[in-house]
A and B are shown apart, each in its own frame.
Chain A
Amino acid sequence: QKEVEQNSGPLSVPEGAIASLNCTYSDRGSQSFFWYRQYSGKSPELIMFIYSNGDKEDGRFTAQLNKASQYVSLLIRDSQPSDSATYLCAVNIPRSNYQLIWGAGTKLIIKP
């Protein structure tokens, strides 16, 4: 069974601190990893994509990928109240590149 697992939260982080979100996946052949943000009542939107081991930075966001341990994480530096949302991890299905498997999401709350 292909799975993507995330802690459902909520994860509460003080404003200005680093928020760390984690995701594990079961299929060792997966190659593409996505982080989407979803505000309450809205649709998901892509914030980070990573496919190589290591770190990828974009502004306050850093995605980290460790294929050997089969986990991908998202760090949000200098957290702002506007970062409060649910963060969804998605992973491609090998040999079916047009399908993604989604985690259930982690709800992040940034406290002022």
Chain B
Amino acid sequence: DAGITQSPRHKVTETGTPVTLRCHQTENHRYMYWYRQDPGHGLRLIHYSYGVKDTDKGEVSDGYSVSRSKTEDFLLTLESATSSQTSVYFCAISEIMAGSSYNEQFFGPGTRLTVL
């Protein structure tokens, strides 16, 4: 299994509080992703990173920010959590060869976040 950990694994918080989720990898993969997964929607990309300090928005980035100061760590922050951000959050990593479209993504165990 790819070495990907997420912390915390479960969190309950209140509306309006800041929340930071951490993804840590030991594979030295260049690309890292944050997804959320909700019933009926599959996986939706929040933000992704293509290198240290290189990040970009995905399709559902409003209300989220990210940072990547080291290859191995990718942080997702909810500045002011809302009930609509209650979800399961997955971190994923991949390594893509130049000129290739093969993008196998390896997933962390997920974080279940509940915003009351």
Contact = CB atoms under 8 A, between A and B. Distances in A.
Most buried by A among B48, B101, B104: B101
Nearest to B97: A97
Main secondary structure of the interface of B (DSSP, over half): loop
Given A43-B110, A98-B96, A51 B101 contact: yes
A41 B109 CA distance: 9
Contacts of A34: 104
A39 to B, nearest CB: 12
Interface in A68-84: none
Interface size class of B (residues with CB under 8 A): 20 to 34
Interface string A41-76: 011111001010000000000000000000000000
Contacts of A92: 101, 103
A8 interface: yes
Interface in B32-75: 40-45, 48, 50, 58
Decide if the interface of chain A is mainly helix, strand, loop or mixed.
Answer: strand
A86 to B, nearest CB: 9
A40 B40 CA distance: 14
A14 B106 CA distance: 31
Nearest to A4: B42
Contacts of A102: 42-44
A104 B41 contact: yes
Contacts of A46: 104-106
B101 A104 contact: no
A56 B15 CA distance: 48
Contacts of A104: 40-42
Name the 4 nearest CB pairs between A and B, nearest first. A104-B42, A43-B107, A102-B43, A32-B101
